[in-house]
Amino acid sequence: MSHSSRQVLAIVLLAGVPWSLGGCSSGGQDGLFGRSESQRLSPGDFAGTGESVPAAASERDLVPDPAPKVAMGGEAVPISRISGPTAETTLGQVGRGQVGGPAVSQTPAVVSGEPVTVDSVVGQINGRPVIASEILESLDGVLRADAASAKSAGEWRQSAARRIVAELRRRVVDELVLSEARRSLTPEQRLGLLRFLENIQGRLVSQQQGSSVAADELLRQQSGRGLREEAEDIRNQELIRFEIKQRVDPRVQVAWRDVKNEYERSFVTWNPPAEYTFRLIYVAAENAAGVASISDALQSGKPFVEVAALEANEFVRRDGGKLVRKHAGAQSEGDFSPTPELNAALRSLGVGQTLGPITFAPDATRPERKRTAWVHLEKIDSPEGTPLYDAQLEITADLTSQRRSTEEQRYLERLFKRGNVSSMETMGEKLLAVATDRYAPRFKQNR
């Protein structure tokens, strides 16, 4: 992989920090048949029954073989023992439903064009191999679309890298949490989880009028996964949720004092400032004719907004001398103008009241250039605030969510430090190479 590809992956990996909990990667949704509350895993599913747990059955159903095997020459060989070109070609030869070794032709294969990586082991998570096709399968549609729409190799690498890294992160998180959850299960809990899996399968079958064949066929048509795989995915998602709830929730505490402090910190959010609409007129003090025209018009009872539109006014007369200011708190403490004389007048105005004439110097460094002003308060818009009593539920929910996210992040960081995971950058590079071979071969020469 070229330096540019490594740069793209490094940027995407950094942009993806921190780790997040997205649920079981293979299922993301609540199952193709939907999920009811009765399918939620709870402590009740782990209730002891006094029955013993068959070790072989529990290990087979709950802890997948850490070293999946492929058939090579009639012998089942762990994937972890296959590396380099052998891994890429062997995994490409072995079909999902194949039993035993692949048929070997006596006629040498004719190779044409560039070699294409059909599949490969890109890394491992706690001893379990990460197979390229397992990561790319769920991205098949979007990667094909990206490859078709990409106008350059750089555009393809950026879009594909973002998707691949996000999916890879979800897989790593899922496997780390599932591994932790499996290790903590007691024999009684393992038995309860097996029964939970059976109940899930039963519910899926019942939604197809009791036909397991119909349920299996429909699932395979819609997602490429069978009944057993769908049930195991639901179980894994629930086991992840249960594990996080057990490990994280006890650490998330929000006290009343925290709620009160947050309300006071964000007081303006809950109590928006009032909006004051003033009208202002000012004229150069030496302009005696202008001062007289404004004074006469106001004394005649003409509306202030109309007087402010007269030619003598030097303050935004096109908008009737409009001046809008927002202020939270008492008007008498408002900061409406940097000029002390005007600010004092604006603080003291009542709605509909006019004050003036007021003499002031806009520029303190040139006190000789004075202005004569009149001010008017047209209206005050005061949005209704939210008292602490009414805001407490929303604040509590927000603080709980923030603290849960923080605790989840700490939990995942601890798992990642304890776990044995291949370099994310290396796995990302290999996955991007396979994806380019598979979906965008026209960009291969630019890698």
Question: What pLDDT was estimated at residue 40?
Answer: 57
Residue 334 lies in a domain: yes
In a domain, 106, yes or no: no
Cβ contact 234:196 at 8 Å: no
- Residues 333, 188, single domain; the answer is no
Tell whether 424 is covered by a domain: yes
Q: Is the pLDDT of residue 94 over 60?
A: no
Residue 90 clears pLDDT 90, i.e. is over it: no
Q: Which domain holds residue 179?
A: 3-99+113-252+399-446
Residues 182 and 328 in one domain: no
For 358, list phi and psi in degrees, rounded to 5. -125, 125
Over the chain, what is the mean pLDDT? 77
Mean pLDDT of 339-362: 92
128 and 184 inside one domain: yes
Segments in 131-287 forming alpha helices (H): 132-137, 140-149, 153-184, 187-206, 212-223, 227-248, 256-265, 267-270
Is pLDDT at 318 greater than 70 in this prediction? Answer: yes
Domain membership of residue 108 (yes or no) is: no
More confident position, 155 or 51: 155
Least trusted range by pLDDT, from 158-172, 225-239, 369-383, 429-443: 225-239
Q: Among 352, 381, 410, where does a domain finish?
A: 381
pLDDT digits over 201-236, tens only?
A: 788 788 777 778 887 788 777 766 788 877 878 888
Give yes or no for residue 116 having a pLDDT over 60.
no
pLDDT of 413 above 80: yes
pLDDT tens across 251-286, in order? 999 999 999 999 999 998 899 999 999 999 999 989
Q: Please say whether the beta carbons of 339 and 370 come within 8 A.
A: no
Residue 85 has pLDDT above 80, yes or no: no
304 in the same domain as 226: no
pLDDT at 81 over 50: no
Question: Is 388 within a domain?
Answer: no
Alpha helices in 63-120 (DSSP H): 84-93
Same domain for 365 and 441, yes or no, is no
| pLDDT confidence of residue 325 | 94
Q: Is the pLDDT of residue 86 over 80?
A: no
**Domain identity same for 410 and 309:** no
**Lowest-confidence range among 4-18, 54-68, 420-434?**
54-68
Q: Is residue 367 part of a domain?
A: yes
Among 236, 162, 201, smallest CA distance to 13 is for: 162
Residues 211 and 185 in one domain: yes
The domain spanning residue 352 has which CATH number?
3.10.50.40
For 196, half-sphere exposure in the C-beta direction (CA atoms, 13 angstrom radius) is: 28
Residue among 3, 7, 10, 19 at smallest CA distance from 166: 19
Assess whether 237 and 287 both reside in one domain. Answer: no
3-state secondary structure 215-241: HHHHHHHHHCCCHHHHHHHHHHHHHHH
Residues 222 and 190 in one domain: yes
In total, the chain counts a number of residues equal to 447
The structural domain count of the chain equals 2
189: in domain: yes
What's the rounded mean pLDDT across residues 332-354? 93
> Pick the residue with more confidence: 138 or 99?
138
**Are 205 and 320 found together in one domain?**
no
Q: Which two tokens stand for residue 124?
A: 């491992």
CB 130 within 8 A of CB 422: yes
Give yes or no: residues 209 and 315 share one domain: no
Residue 417: helix, strand or coil by DSSP?
helix
Q: What is the pLDDT of residues 4-38, one digit of tens each?
A: 555 555 555 545 545 455 544 444 434 323 344 44
Last residue of a domain, one of 351, 381, 411: 381
Residues 219 and 286 in one domain: no
Backbone angles phi, psi at 196, to 5 degrees: -60, -40
